Chains A and B, each alone.
Chain A
Amino acid sequence: MSRRTTGLAIEAEGLTRSFGETQALAGIDLQVPAGTVYGLLGPNGAGKTTAVRVLATLLRPDGGSARVFGHDVVTDADKVRSRVSLTGQYASVDEDLTGTENLVLLARLLGLRKPAARERAAALLAAFGLTEASDRQVKKYSGGMRRRIDIAASILNTPDLLFLDEPTTGLDPRSRNQVWEIVRAVVSHGTTVLLTTQYLDEADQLAGRIAVVDHGRVIAEGTPGELKSSVGSGTVHLRLRDPGQRPEAEKVLREALDVPVQLAADPVALTARVGEAGTDLDASAQAARALGDLARAGIVVDDFSLGQPSLDEVFLALTDHPAVPADERDDKLEAAR
């Protein structure tokens, strides 16, 4: 374990990068402690992937600087490459080759001799439940198997830092849980993981610290608990039976919760944040009180739910703009690549 480093795995200051007129990174600062899972949370086009590509030495920043285990990602890129590995959002293995061939190829490139490379490939395929599929071309794998072979390829040399770019986007819940288990195992053996995700839930499950990224900047940073308490720990969603009662319901809710109430596009729906920092009641008690007040006011509620704030709501709270319109910027970024 001697090559593992304590202290900071990544330090970045003021990273900027533009593609044509689109500014993908507008000055990112990051400090990622070694041996932890660090989450970059944000919508499509926020700059997460660009940040990962800069840190993994695939892209040069226009400005700012970054070091991985103390090695500069531009001037000392080769040293950085010997410590990191990347599982990108897209194919990071060769679809035309079989699982075994892919892993043997990469193991050989990392310096293993053929017998050792074969042995390593077989062990990884077994640990990732891919032994049966080992002689099948990767293009015939399911989505979950694809992700597993991608990750297996990234830990061939047990890197000190693993970049996972949206590892669970597009996966079914079971495959997503498998990826989570693998990430937990990887970090428990001392590898630092930088994970990008669009899901607060995922960042919450895996990451020790999270940076929320928007428009190429870190707009909030902290432990999942800190972030959530800064935006309120939950959201109440209500559906009324009678749309005519909505104005009154809004008034009751506002008085009961002392927060702004959002009127959804659906004429019978309302949402409000609860468990806001600084109030002494927890989210469920506040929600219960609101429900009681509504009943006493004679307002019939058909559907009621209390949930964690979604990424949209965290975004709304942090930026005062929803997380959605970044899609357009994403297309531009694609075109600029």
Chain B
Amino acid sequence: MSNVTTERAPSVYVPSAEALATVLAPSARPPRPSALGASLTFGWRAMLKIKHVPEQLFDVTAFPIIMVLMFTYLFGGALAGSPREYLQFFLPGIMVTSVVMITMYTGVGLNTDIEKGIFDRFRTLPVWRPAALVGMIFGDVLRYILAALVILGLGLALGFRPAGGVLGVAAGIGLLVVFSFAFSWVWTFFGLILRSEKSVMGVSMMVLFPLTFLSNVFVDPSTMPGWLQAFVKVNPVTQLVAAIRGAMSGDSDPSATMWLLVWSAGFLVVFGTLTMYRYNRR
């Protein structure tokens, strides 16, 4: 019992004046990074977070797969005679639904970052102000692309045959990314004004469910009552789905594409401005 074991003590940090002096010597300030450079650096942070916490890719992989399988086999037989038939109509729609739903994690992630305190550091940096948020959304855009590709891959495996070919599909995904980037600013705004992650989720669901379901994603709107058609017609998700269906089927829909770009610009200007106003004035 009285055996004294001499363990090697874990190395204890002793601050040394010389070592600190070498890192404290003032040096010339490097030039401030460009707006794009700073945003890309924040985007790199998002990449690193995916590397360290790969579970967060669950919502862009497993969730879209479940959505595609569930609705294709649930509605396919009834609505289009066979799941394979239905998929030709439905795949662009479910791609939009899944990705638009995933955009809400931008708000949740921002809210968590603010809660933890890291944004205090970012907000005291002398960089282009929106960079932290733009970079965060850059990271999310990669997640959107990944989700879109997962859905496309699954769709192709199940028999989706887009007539627009590679170019048409790429253009469709491009439109989806443009819209999702703009739409993400709605959630940065809610991420900033709401107090908890839970309330951000709650608000997101309340907005996203009607927005994605009351659209042309699942069925042809001409079967709906007039008042509902009126809403479906102006719903940006309807325009987005129509534009992407057009692009992927090789029969582009210029009117829907234009409306989609107008909506995107609107979301970006209105919610981007509101977000930055809140961001600067917290």
Q: Which residues of A contact B (CB under 8 A)?
A: 1, 3-4, 53, 56-60, 78, 81-82, 84-86, 88-98, 101, 105-106, 108-113, 116, 123-124, 126-129, 132, 137, 144, 148, 153, 155, 157-158, 174, 178, 181-182, 185-186, 189-191
The residues of A that contact B126 with a CB separation of less than 8 Å are 78, 81-82, 110
* A110 and B53 contact, Cβ closer than 8 Å, known pairs A182-B15, A185-B20: no
Interface size on B, residues (CB 8 A): 43
Shortest Cβ distance from B248 into chain A, in angstroms?
A: 36
Chain B: which residue is nearest A86 at the CB level?
Answer: B124
Find the residue from B31, B117, B126 having the highest chain A CB count within 10 A.
B126
Shortest Cβ distance from B183 into chain A, in angstroms?
A: 25
Q: Is B269 an interface residue (CB 8 A)?
A: no
Contact B124 A85 (CB under 8 A): yes
Docked pose: A1 CA to B26 CA in angstroms: 7
Contact A174 B12 (CB under 8 A): yes
Partner of A109, one of B26, B29, B33, B49: B33
Partner of B26, one of A126, A128, A189: A189
The residues of A that contact B27 with a CB separation of less than 8 Å are 158
Contact flags (1/0) for B23-46 with A, using CB distance below 8 Å? 111110111110000100110110
* A189 and B125 contact, Cβ closer than 8 Å, known pairs A109-B33, A174-B12, A181-B15: no
Shortest Cβ distance from B12 into chain A, in angstroms?
A: 7
Contact B52 A97 (CB under 8 A): yes
Return 24 A-B CB contacts under 8 Å, by A number. A1-B26, A4-B26, A58-B124, A78-B126, A82-B126, A84-B124, A86-B121, A90-B116, A90-B117, A97-B45, A101-B48, A109-B41, A109-B127, A110-B30, A110-B33, A111-B32, A112-B30, A124-B23, A127-B16, A127-B23, A128-B13, A132-B11, A182-B15, A185-B21
Chain A: which residue is nearest B32 at the CB level?
Answer: A111
The residues of A that contact B31 with a CB separation of less than 8 Å are 111
Docked pose: A106 CA to B121 CA in angstroms: 9
Contact flags (1/0) for B129-157 with A, using CB distance below 8 Å? 00100000000000000000000000000
Shortest Cβ distance from B118 into chain A, in angstroms?
A: 5
The residues of A that contact B42 with a CB separation of less than 8 Å are 109
Q: At the interface, is chain A mostly helix, strand, loop or mixed?
A: loop
* A92 and B26 contact, Cβ closer than 8 Å, known pairs A81-B126, A128-B13, A185-B15: no
Chain A: which residue is nearest B52 at the CB level?
Answer: A96
Shortest Cβ distance from A196 into chain B, in angstroms?
A: 14
Chain A: which residue is nearest B28 at the CB level?
Answer: A3
Find the residue from B15, B17, B41, B116 having the highest chain A CB count within 10 A.
B15
* A94 and B29 contact, Cβ closer than 8 Å, known pairs A109-B38, A109-B125, A189-B21: no
Shortest Cβ distance from B16 into chain A, in angstroms?
A: 8
Docked pose: A228 CA to B45 CA in angstroms: 47
Docked pose: A105 CA to B25 CA in angstroms: 21
The residues of B that contact A128 with a CB separation of less than 8 Å are 13, 15
Partner of A123, one of B22, B45, B49, B123: B22
Docked pose: A174 CA to B11 CA in angstroms: 13
Docked pose: A82 CA to B125 CA in angstroms: 7
The residues of B that contact A4 with a CB separation of less than 8 Å are 26
* A185 and B121 contact, Cβ closer than 8 Å, known pairs A1-B26, A59-B282: no
Chain B: which residue is nearest A113 at the CB level?
Answer: B30
Contact A189 B116 (CB under 8 A): no
- Top 9 nearest A-B pairs by Cβ distance? A129-B13, A90-B117, A111-B30, A181-B15, A82-B126, A185-B20, A189-B24, A127-B19, A81-B126
Q: Is B253 an interface residue (CB 8 A)?
A: no
Contact B281 A97 (CB under 8 A): no
Shortest Cβ distance from A114 into chain B, in angstroms?
A: 10
The residues of A that contact B45 with a CB separation of less than 8 Å are 94, 97, 105
Docked pose: A112 CA to B33 CA in angstroms: 8
The residues of B that contact A93 with a CB separation of less than 8 Å are 118, 121
